[in-house]
């Protein structure tokens, strides 16, 4: 009994939201770690986050 591997595999991952990174513009796919703050996530990685802050010269995140 063989399984036929189809290149066009249809998984539920296709339904996951995604949006471009605010810095590099690369599409970043939804991560479970971002489930709680997906709307606040703007950068694909720590490097982009730091870069964005460096450009704006904004203080580190914190405060209410």
Name the site residues for Zn ion (rule: CB under 5 A): 21, 23-24, 44, 48
Q: Shortest Cβ distance from residue 62 to Zn ion (Å)?
A: 22
Alpha-carbon 43 to chain mean position: 7
Question: Can you tell me whether residue 44 is helix, strand or coil?
Answer: coil
Q: Shortest Cβ distance from residue 14 to Zn ion (Å)?
A: 22
Answer for the pair 22, 43: CB distance below 8 angstroms, yes or no. Answer: yes
Q: Shortest Cβ distance from residue 51 to Zn ion (Å)?
A: 8
- Of 21 and 41, which has the nearer Cβ to Zn ion? 21
């Amino acid at each position: 009994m063989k399984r036929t591997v189809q290149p066009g595999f249809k998984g539920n991952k296709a339904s996951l939201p995604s949006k471009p990174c605010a810095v590099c513009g690369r599409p970043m796919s939804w991560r479970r770690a971002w489930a709680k703050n997906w709307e606040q996530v703007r950068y694909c990685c720590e490097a982009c986050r730091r870069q964005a802050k460096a450009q704006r010269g904004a203080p580190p995140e914190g405060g209410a």
